[in-house]
Structure 1
Amino acid sequence: MAQYQRIFAALDGASTQKAVAQRAVALAVDNGAQLLFGHVIDSVPNEANGADYDALCTEGLARIEEELADELREARSSASIPSVDVQVRAGRVAETLAEQLVEPFSPDLIVCGERGLSNIKYVFVGSVSTYLIRNMRCDVLVVKQG
């Protein structure tokens, strides 16, 4: 079984977000791995209206800290996890996730959620989990909807 040293948890605000965080924390504890939680605020819907992306990222970080307070507290208090960080960026989701969060961290495991898009919606918008599986050079664990 692989020994993971750097685990990235992709948070998307969907129904699997808490399960993704819980799974990532458990794996980080079991492996003594560094842990980075990352979230991307989709800029596409806001590109034309001059959105304040810094403010959106600050609000997004505060929301994650609140929604995942128990999971983050567990991770931060664990002697087994050397470091825990949460980062939020704004941009086109798949590209920003890969280029600004995943690649600089160089994880050997990515934990993400299954969003459960309908087949027709998937054809048009794609899937972040599929993008990660196909493009990242590390293991990717997709947490299924319960």
Structure 2
Amino acid sequence: MLTQYEHIQVSVDGSKESDLAFSKAVAIAKRNGATLEILHVIDTRSFQNVSSFDSAMVEQVSSDAKKRMEEYYERAQKAGIKNVHYSIEFGSPKTIIAHDFPKKNKIDLIVIGATGLNAVERLLIGSVTEYVTRTANCDILVCRTKEVEDALMD
């Protein structure tokens, strides 16, 4: 039995993996006639390490994110997605992507790119994708770039 998804979340960060995830999410949303929620999370913990915290830096990061999200939004509309929204959230990417946003928006499928973290980094800090696949309460589709897929096949 095939699942009919109604609310699809795609998490994007500008990486190749997230761009591929976006393309796949658009195709799934179109096929299912679903609402597409494009999500970008600005990790506020990264600002805690800046010794001279500057609000202009936050504004620049937010402005860049908004510009990128508007581009994704336009691409989804041009692809024929009727119900598409984008959100920029601030906080911990892991909990927002896996729990907070899906609960608030009744998400039944999360589409996310695979991480580029190596095994040591994953052990020390953990990957967002790994956390989402382990803890989210809905279906997850993890997308890899073509280069990663080719390397795994060798």
Answer whether TM exceeds 0.5 for this pair: yes
Structure 2 SS opposite 1:107: coil
Map 1:11-22 onto structure 2 (within 5 A).
Answer: 11-22=12-23
1:90 partnered with 2:81:
no
Which runs of no fewer than 5 residues in structure 1 stay unpaired?
none
Question: CA RMSD, aligned part only?
Answer: 2.0
Aligned partners of 1:94 and 1:128 also within 8 Å:
yes
Structure 1 SS opposite 2:16: coil
1:128 partnered with 2:133:
no
Identity of aligned residues (%): 29
Query: Normalising by the residue count of structure 2, what TM-score does the alignment of the two structures yield?
Result: 0.80
Aligned counterpart, 2:65: 60
Q: 123-132 or 96-105: which moved more?
A: 96-105
Superposed CA deviations along residues 55-85 of structure 1, whole A, max 9, x for unmatched, are 533331213334x4xxx33422455x44101
1:104 partnered with 2:109:
no
Higher-Rg member (1/2): 2
Distance 2:100 2:60 in 1: 18
Query: Normalising by the residue count of structure 1, what TM-score does the alignment of the two structures yield?
Result: 0.84
Aligned pairs, how many?
A: 141
Gap change, CA 1:43 and 1:51, over 3 Å in 2:
farther
Kindly state the Cα deviation for residue 129 of structure 1 after the two structures are TM-superposed: 1.3
Which is helix-richer, 1 or 2?
Answer: 2
Which runs of no fewer than 5 residues in structure 2 stay unpaired?
147-154
